[in-house]
Structures are given as C-alpha cells and as structure tokens.
Amino acid sequence: MSSKLAFVFPGQGSQQVGMLADYLSEPLVQSTLKEASDVLGYDLQALISEGPADQLNRTENAQPALLAASVALWRLWCDRRGEAPAVMAGHSLGEYSALTCAGAMNFADAIKLVHLRGLYMQEAVAAGEGAMAAILGLDDADVVAVCEKVAAEDVVEAVNFNAPGQVVIAGRVVAVQRAIEEAKAMGAKRAIELPVSVPSHCALMRPAAEKLKNELAGIQVVAPMIPVVQNVSADFCSDPEQLKANLVAQLYSPVRWVESIEAIIATGVGRFAECGPGKVLAGLNKRIARRAPIATFESADVMAQWLAEAN
C-alpha cells in the first residue's frame, strides 16, 4: 500500500472540555489559541481547558474552538518537521480547518467566519424546532427513501453519509421523529436522535447560507497549497470562487464523507492522520478504508510516534 499521507480534520461534536490537554504547555499551541482569542474577544484557552461544557458546546463557540485546536496541532506538526500530507479533507466544520491549514484561508479570517457561521446556523432554526438522528444498518438509498416518504410538508433529509451503514438525517423535529420510526420499520439496527441544537446540512440552513455568503464575499480565499477535497462535491477544488461557493452550499447540502475518503484513496493515499480532538473520523475511516492506518493526534504520544517513524 502507498505510503502517501492524508490529513483529515474533525467537525462539530469532537469538542470537549480538556481537549488539547497534552499540548497546552507548547508555546506554539498557546500562541495559536491567543491569536484566536484576540479575534473572538474572549479567552478561548480558558474555555477549552475549564469550560463550562454548555458554553463550549454552543455552536458559535464550538466551531472556532475546534478550528483553533486543529490549526494548533497542524502548526506543531509542521514545526517538528512532520511529513507533508499529499491531500486534506475536513468533515463539515473541519473543512474550514483543512482549507486554513492548506493555506487557502487566513487563520484570523477563518476564526471570525466560523464563529459567525455558528451564530447564523443557530439563528436559522429556533431552539427545539430542529433535530438530527443517526440511522444505522440501512443502505444510503434506503435512508433517502425513508426521508422522502415521511417528509410531507416538513423538512427531513439525509445529510451525513459518514460510513457504510451510517447515515445522519436532519430536519424539523416532527419529521425526524417520523423518519426514525420508519427507519426502524424498514430494518435499521438503530435509529437514535442526536443531542444537537441545530439541524445541520439540510434545507433549513439556507437562511444561514445566505448570510455566510455575504461574509465570504469579504474574505480572501486562494488556491490551497495542499489539495483539499470538499464535502459538497467529494472532489478536489482549487478555484477560489468555487471554494467559496462550495462552502456556502455545504451548509444546506449533505456531507459526502464516504465518497470524499474514496476520492482520497484513489490518489494513492495509504495513511491518514486525524488532526484535531477526538477519534470520530478514525472510527468512520476504519469502516471506509479498512487497511489504511489512521493516527489520532489527541494524544501527544501518538504524534511523537508518527514523527519518530517518519524520521
């Protein structure tokens, strides 16, 4: 198998109080969090380290926190002369981390942008009106059919194609609940509502996308120095205007993660590193690219091991 390396960046849900604990003594990590704090107007390192969890988990805080954490780990990897990845991708919010680390977007601009992205997402749907659920054990087409069958006048859509047999749906609460029951009736192994406040990647996010489009218009985006696969197309993109358009569409379009990983593997990649907190993408990737090893950098020991093996 090829030794080419890909970096993947986690999305919202991977944040937790205490993340980066292994790295907070690193000056480069501290300076990255300080840079983000200056943009946000509050102490991001304190929020990450001490919480409270309900504040960190707020969409407008979780998104810049995850972006900053991922960029901090990327900068540390580069500072220690880690191997340059051949390709990058990020899951939902993680796509902003990928584009920032690939040099397509300025870090301070990205922090501001994802903070506003979180606010716009929360504003688009009143608290308690939206929901998401994970459907396990059905084919993608079956989940799509379930949503179409029960939607009626409401919104419910398949929005995250995360791994074979794992699809997340999103929409209005009542429609998501109908889809859960229908999925179970069709033979889903599990169909469980997720603890989220925003129904991401469905049509309900179109108002947020319009606001995000206006913000992106004022931000400089350039061609990535490392190729990036985007969620909406499951393909590479280097045109700055198309990159922006895909980021806007991403808010109300499915995350095509399985296809994205397959596109990366097709380039000859044989190893992955999850650059950010948690192990969510490692779990998904092991079901998509079973033979490709993936390191998770939430542990400093793992990063050190991969650095040592490369050198």
Q: What are the catalytic residues?
A: 92, 201
Assign residue 299 a region (left: φ > 0; alpha: ψ between -120 and 50; beta: otherwise): beta
Residue type, 124: A
Looking up tokens 């194609």 gives 161
CB 24 within 8 A of CB 30: yes
- Of 272, 254, 83, residue with least CA distance to 161: 254
How many whole angstroms separate alpha carbon 142 and alpha carbon 279? 27
Q: What are phi and psi of 159, to 5 degrees?
A: -120, -25
Which DSSP category does 128 fall into? T
Looking up tokens 């990737």 gives 285
How many whole angstroms separate alpha carbon 157 and alpha carbon 168? 9
**In a 3-state reduction of DSSP, which class is residue 43?**
coil
